[in-house]
Structure 1
Amino acid sequence: MATAQPQWQPPPTPNESVRARLPQLSVYNSLTRSKTPFVPLDGEGRKVGWYACGPTVYDDSHLGHARNYVSTDIIRRILSDYFKFDVTFVMNITDVDDKIILAARQQHLLSQWLAEHATVDSDIRDTTTKAFHAYIEKNLPLVAHDTTPHDWSHLANKAYGHVLKGQSLANDGSQPGDKEAKVKMHLRTAGSAAEVLLGSDPSMQNITAKGSGVLLPYIDSLRKHTVTGKDHDIFTILTKRYEQRFFDDMAALNVRSPDQVTRVTEYGPQIVDFVKQIEQNGFAYENEGSVYYDTTSWESTGGVYARLEPWNRNDKELQQDGEGSLSTKKTGFKKSGADFALWKASKEGEPSWESPWGVGRPGWHIECSAMASDVLGKQFDIHSGGIDLAFPHHDNELAQSEAYWSKSGKESKQWVNYFLHMGHLSIQGSKMSKSLKNFTTIREAIAKGDWTPRGLRIVFLLGAWRDGLEITGEVIKAGRAWEDKVDNLFLKIRDVQLREERLRSNKNGITNGINSLTFSDDEIRAVADELEVAKHKFRDALCDSFDTPTAMRVISDLITFYNSQKPSIVPDVIAMDLGRWVTEMVVMLGLDANHKPGQLGWSGLEIPEAAKAFVIPLAQLRDKVREQAKAGGVDITSLGRFDDKDTIYSPNQPYANANADFQRKIIELGSQSAQPKDFLAACDHVRDQILWKLDIYLEDRDGLPALIRPLSQSLREERASKDAAVASKAAAKERAKIDAEAAEKKKLDQGKLSHLDMFRTSEYSAWDSDGLPTHDVSGAEIAKSRAKKLRKDYDRQKKLHETWLGTQRADSV
Structure 2
Amino acid sequence: MGSPALVLFNSMSKQKEEFKPLVEGQVSMYVCGITPYDYSHIGHARAYVAFDVLYRYLKHLGYDVKYVRNFTDIDDKIIKRANESGEDPLSLSNRFSEAFLHDTSELNCMPPTHQPRVSDHIEQIKDLITKIMENGCAYTIEGDVYFAIDNFPDYCQLSGRKLDDNRAGGGGRVSVDLRKKNPADFALWKAAKPGEPSWDSPWGPGRPGWHIECSAMSSQYLGTAFDIHGGGKDLIFPHHENELAQSKAACPEFKISHWMHNGFVNKDNQKMSKSDDNFFTIRDIIAKYHPLALRFFLMRTHYRADVNYSDIALENASDRVFYIYQTLDDCKQGLSRFREEELKGQIPAKVKESIEKFHSSFIESMSDDLHTTAVLDDLMEPLKAINSNLKQLKGKKPPKPVILSLLALEKEVRDVLDILGLLGASCSEIVQQLKDKALVRAGLTEEQVQQLIEERNLARKNKEYAISDKIRKELSGKGIALMDEANGTIWRPCEPEKDAAAELVSNCSIES
Does TM, normalized by the shorter one, top 0.5? yes
2:409 counterpart (563, 574, 578) = 578
| Closer, same or farther: CA 529–602 of 1 in aligned 2, 3 Å | farther
Residue in structure 2 matched with residue 362 of structure 1 by the alignment: 208
Q: CA 1:274 to 1:323, structure 2 compared with 1: closer, same or farther past 3 Å?
A: farther
Q: Select which of 237, 242, 261 maps to 2:96.
A: 242
Q: Is the 8 A contact 1:485 1:556 kept in 2?
A: no
Q: Give the C-alpha shift of residue 97 in structure 1.
A: 1.2
Q: Within 2, Cα distance between the matches of 1:27 and 1:330?
A: 42
Matches of residues 181-580 of structure 1 in structure 2 within 5 Å? 234-299=88-153, 304-311=154-161, 313-317=163-167, 319-321=168-170, 324-325=173-174, 327-331=175-179, 333-334=180-181, 336-406=182-252, 412-414=253-255, 416-447=256-287, 449=288, 451-501=289-339, 524-560=348-384, 563=387, 567-568=391-392, 571-580=402-411
Change (3 A) 1:497 1:607: farther
Residue 588 to residue 602, structure 1, CA distance change in 2 (3 Å): farther
Matches within 5 A, 1:131-210: none
- Measure, in 2, the Cα distance between the counterparts of 1:440 and 1:481: 21
Task: Name the CA shift for 1:708/1:379 in 2 (closer, same or farther; >3 Å).
Answer: farther
**Residue equivalent to 1:24:** 5
Alignment counterpart, residue 105 of structure 1, candidates 79, 83, 96: 83
Q: Which runs of 5+ in 1 are unaligned?
A: 1-19, 109-232, 407-411, 506-514, 516-520, 596-600, 609-653, 663-676, 722-813
| CA distance in 1 between partners of 2:376 and 2:191 (Å) | 51
Deviations 1:553-591 (A, max 9, x none): 111133345556794486210122011110111122111
Matching residue's letter, 1:572: I
Residue 714 of structure 1: aligned partner: 494
Conserved in 2, the CA contact under 8 Å of 1:322 and 1:364? no
Give secondary structure in 2 for the equivalent of 1:578.
helix
Residue 594 of structure 1 pairs with residue 442 of structure 2:
no
Q: Summarize deviations over 1:362-383 as a string: whole Å, max 9, x none.
A: 1110000001101111111111
The structure-2 alpha-carbon separation of the partners of 1:607 and 1:394, relative to structure 1 and needing over 3 Å to count, comes to: closer
Q: 1:566 to 1:487 in 2, by over 3 A?
A: closer
Superposition deviation, residue 463 in structure 1? 0.7
Whether the 8 Å contact between 2:40 and 2:100 is mirrored in structure 1 is: yes
Asked if the contact 1:489–1:579 (Cα under 8 Å) also holds between the matched residues in 2, the reply is no
SS across alignment from 2:304: coil
**Structure 2 CA distance, aligned partners of 1:307 and 1:583?**
43
Q: What is the CA-CA distance between 1:707 and the residue it aligns to?
A: 11
Distance 1:441 1:578, change over 3 A: same
Three-state SS of the structure 2 residue aligned to 1:48 is: strand
> Is 1:583–1:602's contact at 8 Å kept on the other side of the alignment?
no
AA in 2 matched with 1:28: F
Give the Cα separation in 2 of the matches to 1:48 and 1:478: 35
State the distance in 2 between where 1:526 and 1:545 align. Answer: 30
* C-alpha separation in 2, matches of 1:433 and 1:322: 11
Q: Which digits, 9 at most, give the CA deviation of each residue in 1:110-132, with x for residues without a partner?
A: xxxxxxxxxxxxxxxxxxxxxxx
What TM-score, normalized to structure 1?
A: 0.52
Q: Which residue of 2 aligns with 1:724?
A: none
- The 1:708–1:503 alpha-carbon spacing in structure 2 relative to 1, beyond 3 Å, is farther
Displacement of 1:234 in angstroms is 2.3
Q: Which amino acid aligns with 1:32?
A: S
**Aligned residue type for 1:321:** G
Higher helix fraction: Structure 1 or Structure 2?
Answer: 1
Of the two structures, which has the highest relative contact order with CA contacts closer than 8 Å and spacing of 6 or more?
A: 2
Aligned mates of 2:358, 2:423 — CA distance in 1: 21
- TM-aligned CA distance change 1:323 to 1:363, over 3 Å: farther
Cα distance in 2 for residues equivalent to 1:488 and 1:245: 31
Whole-Å separation in 1 of the counterparts to 2:488 and 2:264: 40
Displacement, 1:49? 1.2
- Which of 604, 615, 618 is the aligned partner of 2:430? 604
Paired residue type of 1:340? F
User: Which AA in structure 1 matches 2:53?
Assistant: I
CA distance in 2, matches of 1:370, 1:60: 26
Q: Which one-letter code corresponds to 1:532 in the other structure?
A: E
Q: Secondary structure at the match of 1:69?
A: helix
Paired with 1:494 and 1:294, the residues of 2 have a C-alpha distance of 63
Change (3 A) 1:556 1:32: same
Match of 2:41 in 1: 62
Aligned residues: 460
For residue 260 of structure 1, give the secondary structure of its aligned residue in structure 2: coil
For the 8 Å contact 1:699–1:706, the answer to whether it is kept is no
